Amino acid sequence: MEAMDIQPSDVLLVIDVQNDFCPGGALAVPDGDAVVPTINALMQRFQHVILTQDWHPNGHSSFASSHPGAEPFDAIDMPYGTQTLWPDHCVQGTPGAAFHPELALDRAELIIRKGFRPAIDSYSAFFENDQQTPTGLTGYLRERGLNRVFCCGLATDFCVRFSAEDAVRQGFATRVLTEACRAIDRDASLAQAQQAMLAAGVVLC
Ligand code: VGL
Ligand code: ZN
């Protein structure tokens, strides 16, 4: 990361560094809190920092508990495609949905909340899982003249992956800072995510 040449028009996109994705949380990513000091240091080096916050209403359709007989990590068919079911997590206003207490939020100029529509999950910071409903982030970046996106956070194989792939599709030069990410990694989902990101044109560094 020392060699990273950061420009004034670069943005650090910090994905879902929330209590529920850290050890002890409802959908804990192994070693998830280890990214906090790394991301805090990165935030000092970028002129633009944007955070995302997974932000689900109670009874969200991505929760296994909303589907009788289903278990967390089952896959089901939704009108927009296959959806993995999760334990209840990041419920609006709960401590689990709050950012990790040591994450230095002050330099963030925008916080994008996602996953708040009851019927659609949203992994990506750009589009919900129907791949059609925008969050507004593309417009924000374009209007502000920000053209390179550096992604970090949780989880590498879900929200970071889909954010990075969408960033490329929206025309942004996109990197994933792998040391500042951690993965859920179930059923080889990390290897699959790395392949998909590389195929999409994401630079992993
Ligand atoms: C995430 C699963 C469900 C993530 C969010 O942040 O990667 N994963 N909701
Ligand atoms: Zn979620």
DSSP characters for 17-38? Answer: -BGGGSTTSTTPPTTGGGHHHH
Q: What does the pLDDT read at residue 136?
A: 97
pLDDT tens digits for 31-40?
Answer: 999 999 999 9
Catalytic center residues:
16, 114, 159
Is-above-0.85 flag for pTM? yes
Closest residue (by CA) to atom 8 of ligand 1?
158
Is the minimum distance from the CB of 159 to ligand 1 under 6 angstroms? yes
- Tell me what the pLDDT averaged over the chain comes to: 97
Q: What does the pLDDT read at residue 202?
A: 98
Strands 173-182 and 148-154: parallel
Q: What does the pLDDT read at residue 118?
A: 98
Is the minimum distance from the CB of 164 to ligand 1 under 6 angstroms? no
Burial class (CB in 10 A: 0-12, 13-18, 19+), 101: exposed
Q: What does the pLDDT read at residue 4?
A: 83
Q: What does the pLDDT read at residue 3?
A: 64
Degrees to nearest 5, angle at CA 154 with 153 and 156: 95
2: confidence class by pLDDT, cuts 50, 70, 90: very low
Q: What percent of the chain has pLDDT over 70?
A: 99
Is the minimum distance from the CB of 158 to ligand 1 under 6 angstroms? yes
The ligand placed nearest to the CA atom of residue 84 is: 1
Q: Give the Cα separation of 64 and 71 in Å (integer).
A: 5
Ligand 1 centroid–CA 90 distance in Å is 9
pLDDT tens digits for 168-190?
Answer: 999 999 999 999 999 999 999 99
Confidence check: pLDDT of 1 > 50: no
Helix ranges (DSSP H) in 23-160: 35-43, 137-144
Ligand 1 centroid–CA 43 distance in Å is 22
Is the minimum distance from the CB of 91 to ligand 1 under 6 angstroms? no
Closest residue (by CA) to atom 1 of ligand 1?
159
pLDDT tens digits for 100-149?
Answer: 999 999 999 999 999 999 999 999 999 999 999 999 999 999 999 999 99
